[in-house]
Amino acid sequence: MRDSFMLKIRDIELSDLPKIKKFKCSDSKMDYFLIKEAYYYHVIGEGITKLVVDVENNEIVGYFTLKCDSMKVFDIEMSTEPEYIPCIELSRIAIANHWQNGVRGYHLGTHLMGHILNLIQTQISTVIGCKFITLHAAMDRVKWYNKRFSFIEVEDEKTIGKDDTVYMCLDITDKSKADEFSKFVSFHKK
């Protein structure tokens, strides 16, 4: 048994399709998406899929898909029309069965979520405006997203008819910069 392992995160490629067929997680819908749809959506720009590869075994041990989203909000004081706030949706995240409960103390799902949040906050949101990270959490993962990563449940039309998932979001606004701006504006109004 190895004492360590090396994981690499990279874009899905056409040459991965034979290996992808071997990927199995605890949700057959997630397996189906990776095997049948992920590469196509990736190349047409509907969702970018990144694979987590165990380099030594040349095995896919996880994946995630990001895409654009928006959240409809109403602010009666500002307008009677809804406002659409730009978001990045974590539309899929899956870990291979044999990695789901940790491998030698390394919990890939938790580390991968940290990587995804960091990627969105430090790279994506610095080049395109987005206020929230959104996702549809499986019922058994809602507490994990909430307690571990501070996602909150959101009720809107995206939840209608999706009783097997919960729509959640995480506000990634840099509150210190927003507060700094507010203080600057109020100081200069005087």
State the pLDDT confidence band at 164, using cuts at 50, 70 and 90.
Answer: confident
The whole-number pLDDT of residue 2 equals 47
pTM: 0.85
pLDDT tens digits for 125-146? 889 889 999 999 999 999 999 9
Strand order in the sheet with 83-95: 7-11, 48-54, 59-73, 83-95, 132-138, 165-171, 152-153
CATH architecture of 7-189: 3-Layer(aba) Sandwich (3.40)
pLDDT greater at residue 94 or residue 79? 94
